[in-house]
Amino acid sequence: MPGFTRYLARRAVLLAITLILVVYATVLIANMGGYIDKLLKGQISFEVTQRLNRDPAFTRLPQQERQRMIDERVKAAIRRAGLDQPFPIRSLIQLKQALTLSLGRASFLKSSTGSPEVADIIMERLPRTILLFTTGTVLAAVAGIYLGLIQARRALSRFDKSAILLAIFTYVQPPWFFGILFILLFSFYLRIFPPGGMISAPPPATPTGYILDVLYHLSLPLITWVFATFGYWSYTTRNIVLQTMSEDFVTAARAKGLPENTILFKYVLRPSSPPIVTSIALALVFSWTGAIITEIVFNWPGIGLLFWEAISTLDAPVIIGLTVILAYLLIITVFLLDIIYALLDPRIKTLGGAVR
């Protein structure tokens, strides 16, 4: 299949270019176009001068000698930190390191075990984010798609219309917004769930107790996430299924007198599923990025909170590391979806040969 291969190759090249551009843009922005380098250099020069000034032997030297020594040591410290090269070159080095996934060390942040390696810091946070947001996305998708199917079968009924309004309304409000209201309601007034965090302090001693405690802390953010996102799934599913239902082959199946359930599951669902599957795949990948403000509101120590900590301390290596991992994930997913689509859809197979 030369056409098919060519199509995939073309997509791969385009996605690779997108990846490089995204990562380079992040490198530029995370360093504020070299501004952070200036800050770091200033900090190094300040620290070196302070250290020398505290040395009694140094203060006795003549002025010129002192200045020479300061300059020399500042230069050495800057070279040691790798800041002696101009920013454009440094940004390219950072780009290469980011693309090869050598994420380096964080400037300020550390993992809870004390490791400054960006990879360690991220890997410590990732499981927590997956636990909350991937679970939440799966639950929301399942619930939403189920609701969407029921709506499609009873299209334009009172139930359908109110479900649409509820779906749009809950989806428009961001999860953190519901989070605040839910904490006030369920945590302060009803006292059912803890207001935030992932584990009690001190954590329970037994493994079962530990798991139950995490689940207890997980419930409220999970409920919030599902409540705030299920609407997207029900609304899209409803619309896609309804569109398929208006196609001629469904009318033909109805005319044959097939039962409604057979039509829905055998005739409608199959052609409706590709866009839904795409959405699910993308949502699952995006769920790995966590959600900055939701995690702040629930004090959930995942990727989103890490992003916020990295941004507020201007920790460029962590910011770049997070972005590059997420960009890779996203682009690999998009590429896999392209392959699956191409395999499933005969039109694309032949199209690959026809287009250019």
Contact 303, 124 (CB under 8 A): no
Q: Residue 31 — φ and ψ, nearest 5°?
A: -90, 5
**Nearest approach, Cβ of 135 to another protein (angstroms)?**
22
Burial class of residue 256 in the structure, from the number of CB atoms within 10 Å of its CB (0-12 exposed, 13-18 middle, 19+ buried): exposed
Cβ atoms 15, 330 nearer than 8 A: no
User: Would you give the binding string for another protein spanning residues 182-201, x where CB under 8 A is met?
Assistant: -xx--xxx-----x------
- Residue placing its CB nearer to another protein in the complex, 69 or 296: 296
How many other CB atoms sit within 10 Å of the CB of residue 128? Answer: 21
Window of 130-138, 260-268, 273-281, 288-296 that interacts with another protein by CB under 8 A: 288-296
Site string for another protein, 205-244 (x = CB under 8 A): ----------------------------------x--xx-
- Please tell me whether residue 35 binds another protein under the rule CB under 8 A: yes
Asked if residue 202 has a cis previous peptide bond (ω within 30° of 0), the answer is yes
- Regarding 327 and contact with another protein (CB under 8 A), the answer is yes
Of 330-349, binders to another protein (CB under 8 A) are 330-331
User: Which residue among 67, 102, 162, 173 contacts another protein (CB under 8 A)?
Assistant: 173
> What's the min distance (Å) between Cβ of 196 and another protein?
9
Which residue, 48 or 306, is less far from another protein as judged by CB?
306
CB 319, CB 307: distance < 8 Å: yes
Dist CA 255 CA 84 (whole Å): 77
> CB-based contacts of 295: which residues, under 8 Å, 6+ apart?
129, 301, 302, 303, 304, 305, 308
* Positions in the binding site for another protein (CB under 8 A): 14, 17-18, 21-22, 25-26, 29-30, 32, 35, 156, 164-165, 168-169, 172-174, 176-177, 180-181, 183-184, 187-189, 195, 239, 242-243, 289, 292-293, 296-297, 307-308, 311-312, 314, 319, 323, 326-327, 330-331
